Structure formats: C-alpha cells, structure tokens
Amino acid sequence: MEGQMLRDPMIPPSEQLLEDILGNSFGAYHEMCRRYDEPDYNLQPQWRYYNDGKAWLCKVVFKSKTVFWLSIWEGFFKTSFFFRDRDCSGIIELDIDKSYKQQIESSQTFGKLHPVVLEIREPDQLEDLAKLIRYKKGLK
C-alpha cells in the first residue's frame, strides 16, 4: 500500500530516512537534489512539518518564488506544481508527457490554481520535472 510518509512531527527528514522510505526511487530523489545546486536551477529546499496535512513537506523555492512542493510516499516521491489560469497554455506547449498536460485540463483547481503532480520513481522522469521547473521559474 502506497501512503504518504513523514507523518511524525518529531522526526524530521534525514538522508537515511528518505533512502529507507523511497527504496529504489532514492536514486531519482538523490539526482533531483543534486540538480538543485546547479546554476541553472539555484533552488532551495525548505522542509517543514505542516499541521494541516499532518506531514513533512518540502517547499522548493527560487529566490522568493515557490517553484514546487515535494512530498514523500512509500516507494516514490511527488512534486506538485500550481499554475494560474494564464500560465496553463504554456504548459500545453511544453515537450512533456501528455498525462501532465491532461492534468491541467481535467484536474480540480485549488482556488484559481491548477495542479500538475508528478509521481517520480525513476531518474528518467526527471527530464519532465526539469522542463516544468524552468517554465515555472520563467513566469512573472
């Protein structure tokens, strides 16, 4: 059964804990984190326990802009992007898996924001993540 992990507010995420939870997906997680520090990305991860969701989440920011949210699940991790109406047409233009584009068209909005969620299990899925990061960073 796949469930969201990191539910204990007293146990912050550590490299070892994440490796234990993610298992085979840890390689993809580790590669994603390595890319955070590259000049093209310059992203800062900010882990925090959120009482409303009763879990540790990582807000990944560029300067003061939230680029995406990261949550840890049993055997994989999710990245969640939120886009305004006016930014959605640009996602349709991106060379990414069509299932992510379909999320824009069919997902329930959060207020005026449209979510795009990637479930990442393998390093080869990081290319679509990179494209969404670059797109989000370029928005005004």
pLDDT 10s digits, 79-99: 999 999 999 999 999 999 999
| 51-61 tens-digit pLDDT | 999 999 999 99
β-pairing, 113-120 vs 76-84, is antiparallel
DSSP 63: T
pTM (global) more than 0.75: yes
**pLDDT score for 2:** 67
| 11-31 tens-digit pLDDT | 999 999 999 999 999 999 999
How far is Cα 77 from Cα 97, in angstroms, rounded to an integer?
A: 17
Band the pLDDT of 1: cuts 50, 70, 90.
very low
Q: Dihedral, CA atoms, 76, 74, 47, 39, nearest 10 degrees? A: -10
**pLDDT score for 59:** 98
Mean pLDDT along residues 89-118: 92
